[in-house]
Amino acid sequence: MPKPRETAVYTHGHHESVLRSHTWRTAANSAAYLLGSLRPHMKVLDIGCGPGTITADLAALVPDGHVTGVDRAPEIVDRARATAAERGLGNTDFAVGDVHALDYPDDTFCVVHAHQVLQHVGDPVGALREMRRVARPGGIIAVRDSDYGAMTWYPASPGMDAWLDLYRRVARANGGEPDAGRRLKAWALEAGFTDVTATSATWTFATAEEREWWSGLWADRTLASAYAGRATEGGHATAEQLRAVSAAWRDWGERPEGWFGVLHGEILCRKR
């Protein structure tokens, strides 16, 4: 029987504006719900490791253990290796892989972690079952995803409304589910987990520096990333409409009263 494989297209791609966001992520700002469960000896799998900043933080927190980072994009796996090397971490390794068909034996890892992954995959329930397969009995599956439909901002902006509508349509056309955060618990139950702790957490962008950074990366992503190409090639938006959305992001970023909240769903599942 052939192994299952990813069917969805990664909406964002790996443009500099995307990596600008990914390299900002840390275990503290993106995996705080998991950190209290880590022990120094643990063997951890970090799925969708991206440029490796969270992976490296996890490795520092399990100094007597080991962290393996996996991503579908070979060039990003190379970036993650470089991040670990720059930090002098000797307890990491990295590989190209697909969450639907992980190249590891059953019962291998103490913790299987995925940050902002399930929103981009074609079969999130199947992915969770595969994550459970490679976890040891008693091990933890930790998943965190944003929820685009729950994102909110001030002041109101028709251009930002257009951005949210467009992004959700493009992401779903690519085979993903942008409102993943609210669905994580349901997906885990469907995958057969019986011990699931569901929580939520937020990112907030409100200071001048935060607004400039967050608005700038989305303004650039809207015009220059793989997402922009998929929006136009898929017939979801014209180049002119993308320019208007990008301008709306920059306008919001310049507003001193500007505030943006990103809600994330989180689950900790115990393998029985």
Q: Which amino acid is at 111?
A: V
Query: How confident is the model over 44-96, as pLDDT tens digits?
Result: 999 999 999 999 999 999 999 999 999 999 999 999 999 999 999 999 999 99
Query: What gap in Å lies between CA 63 and CA 221, rounded to an integer?
Result: 36
Q: DSSP per residue over 5-64, as a string?
A: ---S--SSTT-HHHHHHHTT--HHHH-HHHHTT--TT-EEEEET-TTSHHHHHHHHH-TT
pTM of the model: 0.93
- pLDDT above 90 (res 225): no
* Residue-wise pLDDT tens digits, 140-179: 999 999 999 999 999 999 999 999 999 999 999 999 999 9
Cα–Cα distance, 62 to 121 (Å, whole number): 28
CB 264 within 8 A of CB 145: yes
**What phi and psi values does residue 3 have, to the nearest 5 degrees?**
-70, 145
Alpha-carbon gap, residue 222 to 61, rounded angstroms: 36
Dihedral angle sign, alpha carbons of residues 144, 147, 150, 154: positive
Taking only the tens place, the pLDDT of each residue in 193-213 is 999 999 999 999 999 999 999
